[in-house]
Amino acid sequence: MRLTLSRCASMCMVFLVQPDGPEIRRQRELRGYGLRGFAKAAKISPSYLSRIERGERHPQPEVMARIAKALGRRIVDIKRDATECNDEQRDC
């Protein structure tokens, strides 16, 4: 795949809002939410939430915003540190 400047910028922007799945789960459980109830509050499917919490999915910023809102947190409180990077994203 050839990386154009706009493609690279798009990939890096998504990288900046990668979720901290274990933190999302911890915050959800601290607030007494079950997986299904929280998924409903965040307007996503329970299976999608489960995959986000396990680090198998990286949701769009809009989904991250809904998760953060349902937790009463800011997006920066539930995203991974920007210093965590994989080889594909280092090319940006």
- pLDDT tens-digit readout, 6-21: 444 444 444 456 889 9
Please answer whether residues 82 and 42 qualify as being in contact, where contact means their C-beta atoms are separated by less than 8 angstroms: no
Please state the φ and ψ torsions of residue 19, each to the nearest 5 degrees. -75, 150
pLDDT of residue 9: 44
Q: Where do the domains of the chain lie?
A: 19-90
pLDDT of residue 18: 84
Q: What's the pLDDT at 82?
A: 56
Q: Which CATH architecture has domain 19-90?
A: Orthogonal Bundle (1.10)
24 CB-near residues (< 8 Å, 6+ apart): 52, 53, 67, 71, 78
Q: What is the pLDDT of residues 36-91, one digit of tens each?
A: 999 999 999 999 999 999 999 999 999 999 999 999 999 988 988 655 444 444 44
Report helix angle 21-30 to 46-53, nearest 10: 120
